[in-house]
Amino acid sequence: MIGKFTRLISYLHRGTLLDRIQSELRERNQKRRHIRWNALKGRREYFEAGIGHGIRMRLHFDSELARLIYCDDFEGNERRFLKAFLRAGDVFVDVGANIGLFSLIAADRVGTLGTVYAFEPCRKTFQRLVENTELNHFRNIQCFRLALSDERGESPFYASEDGFDAWNSFAPPIQGKSFSKEMIPCETWDRFAHTHDLVGRVTMMKIDVEGWESRVLKGARESFSREDAPLLQVEFTDKTAASAGSSCMELYHTLRDFGYHLFTYNPRRRELIHEPLCDRYPYVNLIAAKRIGEVNLRLGKSITSGKPAGSTRQC
């Protein structure tokens, strides 16, 4: 008891008491969810769960991603950034939408005046994306069973058959042992944006395509080189990039060549943190932005210089 009281005083002095309380509440909630997930697995094919603000998702027990979403606050910081940044009327593009986690949150944020474009190539995963869209009665999400790449055509795609659907890719996946192959239509973002009158109109784009990120960027060179290019959230993972014949260093330099500055997000302080080029990227989602002042204003930062408030993150 004395030890708990001493720790409480320590948290108060450091100004971290609220963070500690929130962390403990999250841990307790995660334990409860793990227990429920394990109790229902094997008895049901799926169940429906809330992910906040009245949004519900159909989560299938054969999916490791579904378990991470329900049990482990999957990409919680990225979801908090999305909620803080997007506004009514925005256009959000979800490249690698999977079952729709980010698309659903974005659709709620941009409202009826905004639009979400969700790209998911895998047949089974695309069906689940559509189911989750219909479950929430969102009419502002347009779903495309299509992959973005560096050229137009068709390519073979690895689809997991043992639950690792989050790692499906054109490159050999780094997780899972059993895969089928599907022929997937591919398009460049530059061509899609011109065809759908989206040039200069997209607010934010999330790119999470398991190593294919550099290919997506190459197919968007014209759009992303513009001053009115969208803010990007891009996954950096060494193993998936290497599997696709690329690297996180190449990805970083390509974004910089387009005129982007790279950051991570601190949700507690609602600010961007400079991201230097690191030697290793085990797994992180980086924010790539050009108009830093606009981002800061959306995040509630009164920055007049246009420079981000955060210091450089340590690699």
Q: Is residue 177 located within the same domain as residue 242?
A: yes
Q: Is residue 213 located within the same domain as residue 117?
A: yes
Q: Is residue 165 located within the same domain as residue 211?
A: yes
Q: Is residue 40 located within the same domain as residue 131?
A: no
Helix pair 101-110, 76-85: axis angle to 10 deg: 20
Hey, is 27 helix, strand or coil? helix
pTM: 0.91
Domain boundary among 12, 44, 74: 74
Is residue 12 in a domain? Answer: no
Is residue 17 in a domain? Answer: no
Q: Is residue 162 located within the same domain as residue 281?
A: yes
State how far the Cα of 77 lies from the Cα of 158, in Å rounded to an integer: 28
pLDDT, residue 311, reads 67
Q: Is residue 35 located within the same domain as residue 149?
A: no
Question: Cβ contacts of residue 65 below 8 Å, gap of 6+?
Answer: 74, 98, 99, 165, 166
Q: What is the CATH number of the domain that holds 141?
A: 3.40.50.150
Measuring CA to CA, which residue among 207, 227, 204 is closest to residue 217? 207
Pairing mode, strands 284-289 and 261-266: antiparallel
CB count within 10 Å of CB 87 equals 12
Is residue 16 in a domain? Answer: no
Domain boundary among 31, 50, 74: 74
Hey, is 252 helix, strand or coil? helix
Hey, is 229 helix, strand or coil? coil
Alpha carbon distance, N-terminus to C-terminus of the chain: 38
Q: Is residue 113 located within the same domain as residue 159?
A: yes
Domain boundary among 56, 74, 92: 74
Q: Which two tokens stand for residue 293?
A: 């002042």
State how far the Cα of 100 lies from the Cα of 57, in Å rounded to an integer: 8
Q: Is residue 67 located within the same domain as residue 80?
A: no
Our count of domains for the chain comes to: 2
State how far the Cα of 251 lies from the Cα of 79, in Å rounded to an integer: 22
Is residue 308 in a domain? Answer: no
Distances in Å between the Cα of 110 and the Cα atoms of 84, 135, 200, 204 are 12, 18, 17, 11
Q: Is residue 153 located within the same domain as residue 242?
A: yes
pLDDT tens track, the chain, 315 positions? 455 556 556 655 565 656 667 778 778 888 999 999 999 998 999 999 999 999 999 999 999 999 999 999 999 999 999 999 999 999 999 999 999 999 999 999 999 999 999 999 999 999 999 999 999 999 999 999 999 999 999 999 999 999 999 999 999 999 999 999 999 999 999 999 999 999 999 999 999 999 999 999 999 999 999 999 999 999 999 999 999 999 999 999 999 999 999 999 999 889 999 999 999 999 999 999 999 999 999 999 644 334 455 667 777
Q: Which two tokens stand for residue 12?
A: 């108060």
Hey, is 116 helix, strand or coil? strand
Q: Is residue 274 located within the same domain as residue 223?
A: yes
Is residue 45 in a domain? Answer: yes
Q: Is residue 175 located within the same domain as residue 54?
A: no
Task: Give the structural domain span for 62.
Answer: 23-74
Q: Is residue 33 located within the same domain as residue 107?
A: no
